[in-house]
Amino acid sequence: DAMVIQNPRYQVTQFGKPVTLSCSQTLNHNVMYWYQQKSSQAPKLLFHYYDKDFNNEADTPDNFQSRRPNTSFCFLDIRSPGLGDAAMYLCATSRGTTYEQYFGPGTRLTVT
Amino acid sequence: QKEVEQDPGPLSVPEGAIVSLNCTYSNSAFQYFMWYRQYSRKGPELLMYTYSSGNKEDGRFTAQVDKSSKYISLFIRDSQPSDSATYLCAMSGNQFYFGTGTSLTVIP
């Protein structure tokens, strides 16, 4: 089945220690998104790639970076995680920015 | 004014009830309307997807879009305990926007 895969499902990191979350997709979609979701809140868009074009949301902290080496993979790098970065990180894909998005299962990040 | 408004609930109903979930929006450019279901500690799952105004039915779920009123609804018939989740509306024109989600509990 075509799908969006996120690894790891659970990640524990120390305050200030860089961490990378990964996402892969078999849907061959042009657009890949990273969202941050905290408890009882809607997903908050961090950035997205349309093909190789990177689009950063204005309020995304510089601490968050992303890489998309090819169509199938996208990475979220958190350079110096703070306690406030503990959240669920969701990867999503779509054919284009106006179309429905398909989500992965998420990576739950804990910062100690 | 937020682009998309959704009552966060929580909403609690007995098993078998008809559930109505709603969102309003302000941007008349929105053309695509979606409903996602999110179980606790899981990613959102696309439930329904509609383009422009009208109704769409899929099993126990019906999505309605009224563009003249800028109002969308999701109806769940014969609700089941397994429907207990957070339901997020989403819509897009040039950009994609989520509602804040409504937490639903169906009591056996």
Percentage of chain A exceeding pLDDT 70: 98
Contact A17, A74 (CB under 8 A): no
By three-state DSSP, how is residue A68 classified?
coil
Residue A2 pLDDT grade (very low, low, confident, very high; cuts 50, 70, 90): low
Burial of A112 (0-12, 13-18, 19+ CB in 10 A): exposed
Q: Which residues of B touch A (CB under 8 A)?
A: 8, 31-32, 34, 36, 41-46, 49, 88, 90, 92-96, 98-101, 103
**In a structure prediction context, what are the per-residue pLDDT tens digits for chain B, which is 108 residues long?**
678 999 888 999 999 999 999 999 999 889 999 999 999 889 999 999 998 888 999 999 999 999 999 999 999 999 999 999 999 999 988 778 899 999 999 999
Peptide bond into B8 cis (omega under 30): no
pLDDT of residue A80: 96
Cβ–Cβ below 8 Å for B92 and A41? no
Which of A27 and A2 is assigned the larger pLDDT? Answer: A27
pLDDT of residue B11: 95
By three-state DSSP, how is residue A81 classified?
coil
By three-state DSSP, how is residue A9 classified?
coil
Determine phi and psi for A23, rounding to 5 degrees: -140, 135
Contact A52, A65 (CB under 8 A): no
Residue A94: which of A27, A24, A47 has the closest Cα? A27
pLDDT of residue A29: 96
Q: Which residues of A touch B (CB under 8 A)?
A: 4, 6, 40-43, 45, 88, 90, 92, 94, 97-106, 108
pLDDT of residue B65: 95
* Residues of chain A positioned with their CB less than 8 A from the CB of B99: 42
State which residue of chain B sits closest to A89, comparing Cα positions.
Answer: B43
Best mutation target among A3, A38, A98 (most B Cβ atoms within 10 Å) is A98
- Calculate mean pLDDT across residues A55-60: 90
- Does the structure show a pLDDT above 90 at A70? yes
pLDDT of residue A1: 66
Angle made by CA atoms B71, B74, B79, in degrees to the nearest 5 = 155
Residue A51 pLDDT grade (very low, low, confident, very high; cuts 50, 70, 90): very high
